[in-house]
Homo-oligomer: A and B are copies of this chain.
Amino acid sequence: MSRIYNFSAGPAMLPEEVLMEAAAEMLDYHGSGMSVMEMSHRSKTYQQIIDEAEADLRKLIGIPDNYKVLFMQGGATLGFAMIPMNFMFNGKIDLINTGVWTKKAMKDAKLYGEVNVIASGEDNGFKKIPDVKSLKFSSDADYVYMCDNNTIYGSKFKEYPDTGDIPLVCDMSSCFLSEPIDVKKFGIIYAGAQKNVGPAGVTIFIIRNDLLEKPAPRPLPAYLDYRIAAENGSMYNTPPTYGIYICGLVFKWLLRTGGLEFRDKNNREKAAILYDYLDSSDFYRPYVDKDSRSLMNVTFRTPSDELDAEFLEGAKKYKFTNLKGHRSVGGLRASIYNAMPLDGVRALVAYMKEFEEAHK
């Protein structure tokens, strides 16, 4: 068996230790005589798994007691719809448009009211994160919506807007658990698991209680009401049991390897290796402005589309996968989430140098 460096934007690399644990426990979880996949979600053993996952996540981030943690399905994409359905009380929100994901969120939110775009990177191809200091919020907005790390472009907010009493709702899908999070700045944080957390099919929501205490602004089907999910500990219906278990193993891995402080340090180190090299090179061009760069998704180009294609072809001999940029941006993208080791980034830069030497 030879594991490779997988630079996928998500689903993405998971810690090898976690996969080994999952493989070892596949037929018999802790002497239960069954796989976690086969367990009744109403069993004591499974209740302990989900309770521990939540407790470990709370510990890892430091989630205050006045926030609920929910494990849901449908990805951030279902979140785009459920958040306005549940929390557009006055029927008006402010939104910071940083690309494809906020545009999808906007489209769904418009079914439930007015969306006021208070800043947009559209004019500059989403290469720059709007300045949060200069934002003006609508006093009657139900919430301010943003996407923290923009996987497609490789951009990220360096600070969060101060929205005062207006809840800040943040899609953190691709940077969640890559750095410490000050939860109390937010009304809602949510993230699809398939970047830093676990397998696709689990979406984590951290929601401030006061939002859940207000009745839903419209009649909602049971699955689509966060209040029902919260009242039932994410188990109104069968949750994605195995996915939550894997997330739990990842939380334990993060806790025993230095927590989010270490990840922050390690992720900065990994990104610096790549960005420092990109900045020192006349051959490669980074896609995003220097002050808007993501630590998770590093986007860049060679001098031409042909060389981009050649770069991808050449990457195969080192077994580097998924370095192609998103179709809407083109070029190249290296996603270097928590589970990507430093050595993977170093190996990529070595190949980039070799390629530059051969083609400049």
Residues on A close to B: CB < 8 A? Answer: 1-4, 6, 8-14, 16, 19-20, 22-24, 26-28, 32-35, 37-41, 43, 73-78, 80-81, 85, 104, 107-108, 111, 192, 194, 198-202, 219-224, 236-243, 246, 319, 321-322
CB distance from A239 to the nearest CB of B (A): 7
B28 touches A1 (CB 8 A): yes
Asked whether, in the complex, the Cβ of B4 is within 8 Å of the Cβ of A34, the reply is yes
Q: Which of B198, B200, B239, B240 is within 8 Å of A41, CB to CB?
A: B200
- A200 contact set on B, CB distance < 8 A: 37, 41, 238-242
| Other A-B pairs beyond A11-B241, A77-B237, 4, CB < 8 Å | A34-B321, A77-B223, A108-B221, A242-B243
Instruction: Please classify the interface of chain A as helix (H, G, I), strand (E, B), loop, or mixed, using the class held by over half of its residues.
Output: loop
Known: A74-B223, A242-B200. A14 touches B40 (CB 8 A): no
Quick one: copies of this chain in the complex? 2
Which residues does chain B contribute within 8 Å of A239, judged by CB atoms?
Answer: 200-201
Choose one: B12, B202, B241, B319; the contact of A33 (CB below 8 Å). Answer: B319
Q: A221 and B111 in contact (CB under 8 A), knowing A19-B27, A26-B23, A27-B20? A: yes
Please give, as numbers and ranges, the residues of chain B lying within 8 Å of A198 by CB-CB distance. 37
The one of B78, B246, B319 that contacts A74, using a Cβ cutoff of 8 Å: B78
A26 to B26, CA, bound (A): 9
Docked CA distance A310–B261 (Å): 51
Query: Which B residues touch A33, using CB under 8 A?
Result: 2-4, 6, 319, 321
